């Protein structure tokens, strides 16, 4: 299936749903295919694994969602995601105009809510941290595999996190599930909506999704 059609079908199937069974990397941040080895790079993999273990421990302890949110927020680059889904830092200001802060706040709430749901749904599923690949501009792609049992059969899903390093800190800029990018999916949806009704239509749809 051609990639644009695949993305379109996924987008239409989940109108602004967080396809974390469809997260990934924006074009500008895509890791190079022949990058340096993980052993010579900052360890995005170690940071992601530490983050996952911390959240798993909190879930088992039954902490409130607000505590989970406080742990998740520093890990997700909401501002970068908002700009990327509108076409990048050069194009986004012209697209959202006077409503950029409003758009980013709504998208942040949606991404946060659905990421927390993913974490909660994952429960005790085994997660294998396979490794990282270093790309350009301090971007790293960390690949994980999550196994689930459905109808008596074990199914494995590949989830890759595109992470950016700033000093000793790492933030997630995209999540790719089984080859489907979150950023690219949202970018397609938002571009279609902007063409039809401008940023106002995008904001109305985000508000509607958050009410569900």
* Residue 32 pLDDT greater than 90, yes or no: no
**Going by C-beta distance under 8 Å and a sequence separation of 6 or more, which residues neighbour residue 21?**
157, 177, 178, 180
Encoding tokens for residue 140? 């790293």
Percent of the chain with pLDDT over 90: 60
Residue pointed to by tokens 């995005």: 44
* Residue 25 pLDDT greater than 50, yes or no: no
* Average pLDDT over all residues of the chain: 82
User: What pLDDT does 9 receive?
Assistant: 36
* Residue 102 pLDDT greater than 90, yes or no: yes
Of 15-19, 115-119, 135-139, 153-157, minimum mean pLDDT range: 15-19
User: What pLDDT does 123 receive?
Assistant: 66
Closest by CA to 55, choosing from 124, 114, 110, 111, is 124
DSSP 56-69: HHHHHHT--HHHHH
For the CA atoms of 179, 113, 66, 49, the dihedral, rounded to the nearest 10 degrees, stands at 0
Q: What is the pLDDT of residues 76-101, one digit of tens each?
A: 999 999 999 999 999 999 999 999 99
The structural domains of the chain, ordered by start, are 3-211 (3.10.450.710)
DSSP 28-76: GGPPPTT---GGGS--HHHHHHHHHHHHHHHHHHT--HHHHHHHHGGGB
Q: What is the pLDDT of residues 123-181, one digit of tens each?
A: 667 789 999 999 999 999 999 998 877 777 888 889 999 999 988 899 999 999 899 99
User: What pLDDT does 14 receive?
Assistant: 36
Cα separation, 108 vs 111, in Å, equals 5
* Residue 208 pLDDT greater than 80, yes or no: yes
Percent of the chain with pLDDT over 70: 79
The pTM of this model reads 0.78
Cα separations (Å) of 55 from 36, 60, 77, 136, 211?
29, 9, 18, 29, 26
- Per DSSP, 27 falls in state G
**Mean pLDDT over residues 57-86, rounded?**
93
**Mean pLDDT over residues 109-134, rounded?**
85
* Residue 30 pLDDT greater than 50, yes or no: no
* Residue 11 pLDDT greater than 80, yes or no: no
Of 33-47, 177-191, 197-211, minimum mean pLDDT range: 33-47
CA atoms within 13 A on the CB side of 68: 22
Closest by CA to 202, choosing from 4, 6, 15, 9, is 15
39 confidence band (pLDDT: 50, 70, 90): very low
């Amino acid at each position: 299936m051609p990639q644009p059609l695949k993305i379109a079908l996924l987008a239409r199937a989940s109108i602004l749903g967080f396809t974390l069974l469809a997260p990934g990397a924006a074009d500008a941040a895509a890791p190079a295919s022949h990058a340096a080895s993980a052993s010579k790079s900052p360890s995005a993999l170690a940071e992601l694994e530490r983050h996952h273990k911390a959240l798993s421990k909190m879930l088992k302890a039954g902490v409130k969602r607000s505590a989970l949110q406080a742990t998740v927020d520093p890990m997700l680059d909401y501002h970068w995601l908002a700009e990327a889904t509108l076409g990048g830092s050069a194009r986004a200001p012209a697209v959202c105009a006077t409503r950029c802060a409003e758009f980013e706040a709504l998208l942040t709430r949606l991404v946060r809510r659905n990421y927390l749901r993913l974490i909660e749904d994952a429960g005790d599923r085994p997660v294998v941290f396979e490794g990282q690949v270093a790309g350009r501009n301090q971007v790293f792609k960390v690949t994980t595999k999550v196994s689930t049992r459905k109808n008596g059969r074990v199914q494995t899903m590949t989830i890759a996190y595109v992470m950016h390093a700033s000093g000793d800190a790492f933030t997630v800029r995209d999540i790719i599930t089984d080859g489907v990018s979150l950023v690219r999916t949202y970018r397609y949806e938002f571009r279609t909506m902007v063409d039809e009704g401008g940023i106002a239509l995008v904001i109305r749809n985000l508000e509607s999704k958050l009410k569900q």
